Amino acid sequence: GDSVTQMEGPVTLSEEAFLTINCTYTATGYPSLFWYVQYPGEGLQLLLKATKADDKGSNKGFEATYRKETTSFHLEKGSVQVSDSAVYFCALNEFTGGGNKLTFGTGTQLKVEL
């Protein structure tokens, strides 16, 4: 079945550092790919998405490119801020046989320090 693998956290960075959170997936077809973020004390919210190969999703300075050849969707940001501290979840949705569901990775906690 479908699965998502994320790098384990916590990831601790200094403010203005470069961020990469790796995400790879397994799927039988052509899924849509998502990054969701959960800030402390808040609910899950969409950060960005890409729905076909080579698409780049971007939002709030974060970017991720859908790489079908490497089955990856790595999250990057050039300069992180303390306010980016949160848990980041990579997810995929592959509509098969009438089912429609997100399959999530285990999440990566990011801590940004001054």
Partner 1 sequence: GAGVSQTPSNKVTEKGKYVELRCDPISGHTALYWYRQSLGQGPEFLIYFQGTGAADDSGLPNDRFFAVRPEGSVSTLKIQRTERGDSAVYLCASSPSGDSTDTQYFGPGTRLTVL
Min. distance of Cβ 7 from partner 1 in angstroms?
13
Q: Judged by CB under 8 A, does residue 11 bind partner 1?
A: no
d(C-alpha 28, C-alpha 40), whole Å: 34
Min. distance of Cβ 92 from partner 1 in angstroms?
9
Min. distance of Cβ 48 from partner 1 in angstroms?
10
Nearer to partner 1, 18 or 60 (CB): 60
Tell me the torsion sign for CA atoms 113, 74, 47, 40: negative
> CA dist 62 to 1, 27, 28, 112, Å?
29, 24, 27, 15
Q: Which residues contact 76 (CB under 8 A, 6 or more apart)?
A: 18, 19, 20, 21, 62, 63, 64
Phi, psi dihedrals of residue 40, rounded to the nearest 5°: -55, 125
* Structure tokens that stand for 40 in this block: 């402390």
Q: Which position among 4, 19, 23, 110 is part of the footprint of partner 1 (CB under 8 A)?
A: 4
List the interface residues with partner 1, window 51-110 (CB under 8 A): 51, 89, 91, 93-95, 98-107
Nearer to partner 1, 14 or 53 (CB): 53
Q: Which residues bind partner 1 (CB under 8 A)?
A: 4, 31-32, 34, 36, 42-46, 49, 51, 89, 91, 93-95, 98-107
